[in-house]
Amino acid sequence: MDPKEFENRYFIDAHRFNCAFCHVRSIGFIVIKRVSFDWLKDKNANAYFVKCLGCQKVSIHLSYSIFNYIESNPENAFIRPPMQRGNDNGFPVTRYLSPKGEIKVDDDFYNNGDILDEYFFYHHPSSPFFVDPEVPPEIRSLIDEADGCRNQNFLIGASGVLRKAIYEFLLDQKVGGANYEEKIKGLKEKYPKAQEEIFDALVGIQDLTSNALHEDELGNWEPWKSKDFHYVMQVVKAAMYEVYTSPKRSKDWLNKINAIKNKSKNKNG
């Protein structure tokens, strides 16, 4: 798995995940409970309660799939993909299912490109590695909500909430400008060391204004298609990093360097 993808995942494999509470990467977990419920009139879903083996906090993860959870063996709940039992010429057979519910030939789903995370459509709390913790909670919460809507294919909600996140981001930055494009130019002036291409990409996003979530008094606006939403989300995440994370990390490193330098001076003095 690509290192960047590794950090953005909730579940790394059947035994390790990125905990949203203690922020420890690749720490052990166990599934302590599974509850089935009616998602729609004719569709069921399952809630898996996962305990971090570090901080002991419990998170909830929703899936349409049924994993083989056994109370006496909770650490192996996700060791096999969801399965479907049937028969083949009178003989009982077990078939494994992909994240989309398609029948698979074997259970080697970690190595064949089917990642455990893909079996889930909602996590609470969402992974802290999806949106950097340095992003203000109000904005981070909107981005998380937009991603949750997108995972459930609620593109109208996803588009609206992500647009709202960008609007709140610009308000938080207190940049001047009569319209959306001028405000982004204000960001470029405010953060001259940031990658200009990222702010240019923000300018290039269509159907966005700095005035309100809906463009006119009738609320007429078009939601993004899935691929467009993904692009906008990546641009927003990159902008968040340039504005909130990168400057703080640079400052932290500078403070460490100065502390070491001062300590060295004191010893020599």
pLDDT tens per residue across span 24-77:
888 999 999 999 999 989 999 999 999 999 999 999 999 999 999 998 998 899
Tally the domains of the chain. Answer: 2
218 and 190, same structural domain?
yes
Band (211; pLDDT cuts 50, 70, 90): very low
232 and 148, same structural domain?
yes
149 and 249, same structural domain?
yes
pLDDT at 221: 61
204 and 115, same structural domain?
no
Query: Which of residues 124, 159, 178 is at a domain's end?
Result: 124
Question: Is the pLDDT confidence value at 86 over 50?
Answer: yes
Residue 68 belongs to a domain: yes
Residue 32 belongs to a domain: yes
pLDDT at 3: 54
pLDDT higher for 50 or 252?
50
Can you tell me the distance from the alpha carbon of 95 to that of 18, in angstroms, rounded to the nearest whole number? 29
Residue 190 belongs to a domain: yes
- CA 72 to the chain's CA centroid: 31
120 and 219, same structural domain?
no
243 and 152, same structural domain?
yes
151 and 120, same structural domain?
no
Domain that holds residue 185: 137-259
Residue found under tokens 């349409």: 64
pLDDT at 213: 42
pLDDT at 241: 84
Closest listed residue to residue 222, CA positions, set 163, 174, 168: 163
Instruction: Report which listed range, 21-30, 54-63, 118-127, 140-149, is most confident.
Output: 54-63
Residue 90 belongs to a domain: no
Query: Which of residues 124, 151, 186 is at a domain's end?
Result: 124
221 and 156, same structural domain?
yes
119 and 205, same structural domain?
no
Residue 162 belongs to a domain: yes
Mean of all residue pLDDT scores within the chain = 82
148 and 51, same structural domain?
no
Can you tell me the distance from the alpha carbon of 118 to that of 147, in angstroms, rounded to the nearest whole number? 13
